[in-house]
């Protein structure tokens, strides 16, 4: 079973994490889950208390396909390049974590796992959620892109004529899964203007 590390930061857009984790589990991918303390507050505010910790998230999905990690456990398996993972996703990703990862700061497990992903030349997908973006934000995102990360801002694709917020979220999750090279039915292929 393939393993993908999923990090959740405190930026808005927690539903994208929930939907992506579900899609990964549905594709028989093992999720190595780590979240920041700020992510817990955002999850409570945007989704609810029932998913506010890694353990509660695992219980919510009722699966053994999730391993949970404390943000403080710098000795966890995902902190080492010898632990085989396919890739890492950070969704949503705060600008604080973008800056830390871009500059090699490994002060918590999420950031260390991202650093390991980059040094091992594995796919790192970052979904930053901030607007407007300052010059500092853009420079840090550019640095990550130059280091090999894929940056996917959660921008809606209106050309697919989404009917609901759910449709918009699904298209974004489809893009995330594509970047992770995970089969999915959420992506809508552009057929051109008729």
Convert the pLDDT of each residue in 45-76 to its tens digit: 999 999 999 999 999 999 999 999 999 999 99
pTM, to two decimals: 0.96
Q: Is residue 7 part of a domain?
A: yes
Q: Which domain holds residue 35?
A: 3-179
As a whole number of angstroms, the distance between CA 131 and CA 143 comes to 19
18 CB-contact burial (10 Å; exposed 0-12 / middle 13-18 / buried 19+): buried
CATH number, residue 94:
3.40.50.1950
159 CB-contact burial (10 Å; exposed 0-12 / middle 13-18 / buried 19+): exposed
| Statement: residue 187 has pLDDT above 90 | no
Mean pLDDT of the region 83-104 = 99
Query: How many structural domains comprise the chain?
Result: 1
Q: Is residue 58 part of a domain?
A: yes
Q: Is residue 161 part of a domain?
A: yes
As a whole number of angstroms, the distance between CA 172 and CA 16 comes to 8
Q: Is residue 53 part of a domain?
A: yes
Three-state secondary structure string covering 39-85: HHHHHHHHCCHHHCCHHHHHHHHCCCCEEEECCCCCCCHHHCCCCCC
Q: Is residue 188 part of a domain?
A: no
Residues 188, 181 contacting (CB under 8 angstroms): no
Residues 32, 110 contacting (CB under 8 angstroms): no
Q: Is residue 193 part of a domain?
A: no
Dig out the tokens for 175 from the structure.
């893009």
Q: Is residue 184 part of a domain?
A: no
Summarised one tens digit per residue, pLDDT across range 141-185 is 999 999 999 999 999 989 889 999 999 999 999 999 999 999 998
């Amino acid at each position: 079973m393939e393993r993908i590390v999923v990090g959740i930061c405190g930026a808005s857009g927690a539903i994208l994490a929930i939907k992506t984790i579900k899609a990964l589990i549905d594709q028989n991918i093992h999720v190595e889950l780590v979240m920041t303390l700020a992510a817990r507050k955002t999850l409570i505010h945007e989704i609810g208390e029932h998913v506010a910790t890694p353990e509660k998230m695992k219980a919510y999905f009722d699966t053994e396909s999730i391993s949970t990690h404390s943000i403080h456990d710098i000795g966890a398996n995902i902190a080492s390049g010898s632990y085989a993972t396919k890739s890492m996703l950070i969704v949503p990703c705060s600008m604080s974590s973008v800056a830390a990862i871009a500059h090699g700061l490994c002060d918590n497990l999420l950031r260390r796992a991202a650093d390991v992903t980059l040094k091992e030349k594995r796919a790192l997908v970052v979904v930053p959620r901030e607007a407007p973006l300052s010059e500092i934000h853009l420079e840090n995102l550019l640095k990550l892109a130059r280091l090999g990360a894929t940056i996917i801002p959660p921008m809606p694709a209106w050309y697919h004529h989404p009917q609901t917020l759910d449709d918009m979220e699904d298209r974004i999750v489809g893009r995330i899964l594509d970047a992770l090279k995970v089969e999915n039915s959420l992506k809508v292929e552009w057929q051109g203007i008729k």
